Amino acid sequence: DQVLVRVKELEKAAVQANAAGALDTANTRIIMEYALAAGMVLDRTPSGWQATVKALWTTAAPKITTTNPTVQLAVTALTGLLSSL
């Protein structure tokens, strides 16, 4: 599923950026908490996850502030995908 792929890409980008010192702990935590919650929703409700995952993202996305291009790209990709659903 493309949403799960994008969530995992965002999670990976955040971890790598944080390890490189390019994403602070607060933003990394927001992303990791979202990825964990979204992953649980996707696993538990394969046919009814859209509204919940979109609502979680609507809450998390505005809190993410970074200039890291990899994380920004992942945020933009996930936002675009979720808005198309």
pLDDT digit string (tens) for 7-66?
999 999 999 999 999 999 999 999 999 999 999 998 888 788 999 999 999 999 999 999
What would the two tokens of residue 4 be?
A: 């799960």
Given a cut of 90, whether residue 79 has pLDDT beyond it is: yes
* Separation between Cα atoms, residue 13 and residue 77, nearest integer Å: 12
Q: What does the pLDDT read at residue 59?
A: 97
Residue 21: Cβ-neighbour burial (10 angstroms; 0-12, 13-18, 19+): exposed
Query: What is the reported pTM?
Result: 0.84
